[in-house]
């Protein structure tokens, strides 16, 4: 019997260990054990404000200042997108560029991938040939990729445009909107963004406009980021005396929330 007691104690210890391990697995399965915290949902309101400045001196004195502000409310199911920007440049004390833009878009989510939108924008760029351009738009956004690494969406809609050229009479016409927006978050703190918008006219097939906005952004602090952006715009039938293409490159310090 003296040899059987240790064996019984060993067997009992083994059974106890198995019971503890089984209880631990059961607690983990039931969610009673400590588990990694889940990421909180994205905030309802987000926004950013960026400022860029450049200056040169020597044979030519140049300076430029740019401001870009965006505010977004996630569609739950109603959403809102607001954007305003201003760019100004001078060379040897003479103004060589000045552009203002303000836009607002309301959204109504129809599900995870579709949104209806209704909005309008106003812009002014005398160096591109117009004192005022008002565009009203309505249509649908389809989200092909939802993230978290890649996001891709497409816009299809109708537009109404009213233009006031610098040296011509006011004009208004109906048209369409075709757009695409892509975001690639290649790290937790850096991203690549591209947005293309195409505006054909129903009155003249050759009278179309195209805008492309490209940006790379990297965080440098909790709420601050550095952004390098390139804006390209083409007006295929510009006012007399003005070119078809415009572009702007900016390096901005951006505050984000």
CA dist 205 and 203 (Å) reads: 7
The overall average pLDDT reported for the chain is 87
pLDDT tens-place string over residues 137-175: 999 999 999 999 999 999 999 999 999 999 889 999 999
What confidence tier does 59 reach under pLDDT thresholds 50, 70, 90? confident
pLDDT at 16 over 50: no
pLDDT at 29 over 80: no
pLDDT of residue 57: 76
What confidence tier does 38 reach under pLDDT thresholds 50, 70, 90? low
Percent of the chain whose predicted confidence (pLDDT) is above 70: 85
| CB contact at 8 A, 87 and 248 | yes
pLDDT at 1 over 50: no
Average pLDDT over every residue of 19-46: 57
Q: Enter the pTM of the model.
A: 0.81
Average pLDDT over every residue of 216-227: 95
pLDDT at 28 over 90: no
pLDDT tens-place string over residues 177-221: 999 999 999 999 999 999 999 999 999 999 999 999 999 999 999
**100-113 as b/e: b if 16+ CB within 10 A:** ebebebbbebeeee
| CB contact at 8 A, 231 and 248 | yes
Q: What are the backbone angles phi and psi of residue 7, rounded to the nearest 5°?
A: -60, -40
pLDDT of residue 39: 64
pLDDT at 18 over 70: no
What confidence tier does 36 reach under pLDDT thresholds 50, 70, 90? low
CB-based contacts of 77-83 (< 8 A; 24+ apart in sequence): 77/108, 77/109, 77/110, 78/106, 78/107, 78/108, 78/109, 79/106, 79/107, 79/108, 79/109, 79/115, 80/104, 80/105, 80/106, 80/107, 81/105, 81/106, 81/107, 81/119
Query: What spatial distance separates the first Cα and last Cα of the chain, rounded to whole Å?
Result: 75
């Amino acid at each position: 019997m003296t040899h059987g007691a240790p064996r019984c104690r060993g067997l009992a210890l083994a059974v106890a260990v198995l019971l503890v391990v089984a209880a631990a697995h059961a607690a983990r399965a039931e969610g009673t054990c400590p588990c990694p915290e889940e990421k909180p949902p994205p905030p309802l309101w987000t926004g950013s404000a960026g400022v860029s400045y450049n200056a040169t001196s020597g044979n030519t004195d140049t300076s430029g200042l740019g401001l870009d502000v965006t505010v977004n409310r996630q569609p739950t199911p109603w959403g809102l997108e607001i954007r305003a920007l201003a760019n100004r440049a001078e060379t040897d004390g003479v103004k060589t560029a000045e552009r203002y833009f303000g836009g607002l878009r309301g959204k109504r989510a129809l599900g995870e991938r579709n949104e209806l939108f209704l909005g309008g924008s106003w812009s002014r760029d005398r160096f591109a040939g117009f004192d005022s351009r008002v565009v009203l738009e309505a249509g649908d956004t389809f989200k092909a990729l939802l993230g978290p690494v890649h996001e891709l969406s497409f816009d299809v809609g109708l537009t109404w445009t009213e233009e006031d050229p610098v040296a011509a009479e006011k004009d208004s016409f109906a048209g369409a909107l075709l757009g695409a927006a892509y975001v690639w978050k290649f790290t937790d703190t850096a991203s690549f963004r591209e947005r293309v918008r195409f505006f054909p006219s129903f009155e003249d097939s050759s009278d179309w406009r195209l805008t492309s906005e490209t940006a790379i952004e990297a965080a440098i602090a909790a709420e601050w980021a550095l952004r390098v952006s390139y804006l390209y715009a083409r007006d295929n039938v510009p006012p007399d005396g003005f070119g078809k293409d415009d572009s702007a490159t900016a390096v901005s310090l951006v505050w984000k929330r």
